[in-house]
Amino acid sequence: MTGGPCPAGVRDRRRGRWPWAAALAMLGLLILWPDVARATDQAVIIMYHRFDEQDYPTTNIRLEQFDEHLAELTSGKYTVMSLPDIVAAMKAGTPLPDRTVGITVDDAYASVYEHAWPRLKKAGLPFTLFVATDPVDRKLGGIMTWDQIREIRDQGATIGHHTVTHAHMAGAARDKNLVEFTEASERFKAELGSVPKIFAYPYGEASQALETMARAQGFEAAFGQHSGVAHPSLGYFYLPRFAMNESFGGIGRFRLAVNALAMPVTDLTPADQLITDDNPPAMGFTIVPPPPRESTGWPVSRPTKDARGWNA
C-alpha cells in the first residue's frame, strides 16, 4: 500500500533554473551526482510490499526483478545494513560505509515469508519488516502469522511498527492516532516481547503533528514512502525510501536509486507535509553548499541525473 506520485526534476544548468526544485525539496527527492566523492553520512533505503503477486502490480515486485536487485546488492559494490544500525550510526555521527543500503518490506504479506525471506536469508542480507498488527491478529488470508513473524525475527530480521489497522493518519484525529500507536505497541509487546523502535507511516502519509506523536512514542526513527536518500539533514521522523514495484522496479532504476547521493537542504517552506487551506502553498528551500571542491573532487559543471520514480 503506497502513497501518491513523487515528481522529479533536473536542473537546467544553461539557464540556472530548477523547474521542479520546490517539489523536490518538499518531497525529499535527492539526486544522483556522477563521479563524486561518496558521502559517509547517508544511506539509500529500499521499500517493497508484495512478491510474485501478479494481481497487485502497483505493490508487487516480480521475482525475476527481485533476483536482479539481490544480485546487484551482493556484487561487492554495496554494504547492506539493518535499519536500526543505519539510524544509530547517523545519530552518533559514525561514518557509514560507501553505498550503504537498507532493505524494508511493508505490511507482512505472506509472499514475504514464502518468497522474499528465503532469498534474503540465503544472500545474508538484513531487512526490516513493518507490521500492522490487526491483519495478523485477524488471520487474514495472504498475511503472515505471528509464528512466522517470530521466526524471521529470531533469525535476524528487524520488526518495525506499522500501527494497528494501517490507517490514514495524517488527517485523522489525535485520539484515533494515539490508539493506532498504543494498541499496536501492546500487541507487539504481547507477541514479540518488546515494542519496535522503528516506525513506518501507513501509505507514507505524515504531518508535523504526527511526527511529534511518533517521537513521543519512543521511536528512534520513522519512514515515509517518498523517493530520496536518508540523511541527517532531513531529521529522523520522515525519512525517505525508494519504492519498488513492477513498473518502477527495473534494474536500471534500481541501480540509479542505490547509487543516489543526498542533496542536503535547509529552510524548507512549508515545513508541514500536510497542506490544508493554503493550496498550492508557497514553496522554498536553501541548498547546503558542498565542501570545497579540492577536498571532495566534486565536478562543478557536470549535468546531473534525477532518481526518478513514483510510488503506486
Interatomic CA distance for residues 241 and 106, integer angstroms = 11
Is the confidence at residue 7, as pLDDT, over 70? no
Q: Per-residue pLDDT tens for 145-166?
A: 999 999 999 999 999 999 999 9
pTM for this structure?
0.82
Mean pLDDT of 181-192: 98
Under a CB-based contact definition with an 8 Å cutoff, are residues 166 and 205 in contact? no
Quote the pLDDT of residue 12. Answer: 30
Chain segment 124-146, per-residue pLDDT in tens: 999 999 999 999 999 999 999 99
The stretch 193-206 carries a mean pLDDT of 97
The arithmetic mean of pLDDT across residues 244-258, rounded, is 97
pLDDT of 293 reads 52
Q: Quote the CA–CA distance of 252 and 18 in Å, as a whole number.
A: 24
Q: Which residue has the higher pLDDT, 263 or 191?
A: 191
Residues 262-271 pLDDT 10s: 988 888 888 8
pLDDT in tens, 69-115: 999 999 999 999 999 999 999 999 999 999 999 999 999 999 999 99
Cell numbers representing residue 291 in the block: 565542501
Q: Which three cell numbers stand for residue 84?
A: 536500526
**pLDDT, tens digit, 9 for 90 and up, residues 271-310:** 887 877 777 888 888 888 766 654 444 444 434 444 444 3
- Cell 529470531 belongs to 154
Q: How many residues does the chain have?
A: 312
Q: Which residue has the higher pLDDT, 132 or 6?
A: 132
Rg (CA), the chain: 19
Domains and CATH numbers, the chain: 21-296 (3.20.20.370)
The yes-or-no verdict on residue 312 having pLDDT over 70 is no
**pLDDT tens-digit series, residues 11-57:** 232 233 333 333 443 444 444 444 344 568 999 999 999 999 999 99
pLDDT at 46: 99
Q: What is the pLDDT of residue 144?
A: 99
User: What pLDDT does 288 receive?
Assistant: 81
Asked which of 4-8, 59-63, 306-310 is least confident by mean pLDDT, the reply is 4-8
What pLDDT sits at residue 38?
Answer: 58
Q: For residue 266, how many other CB atoms are within 10 A of its CB?
A: 10
Facing residues of 17 across strands?
12
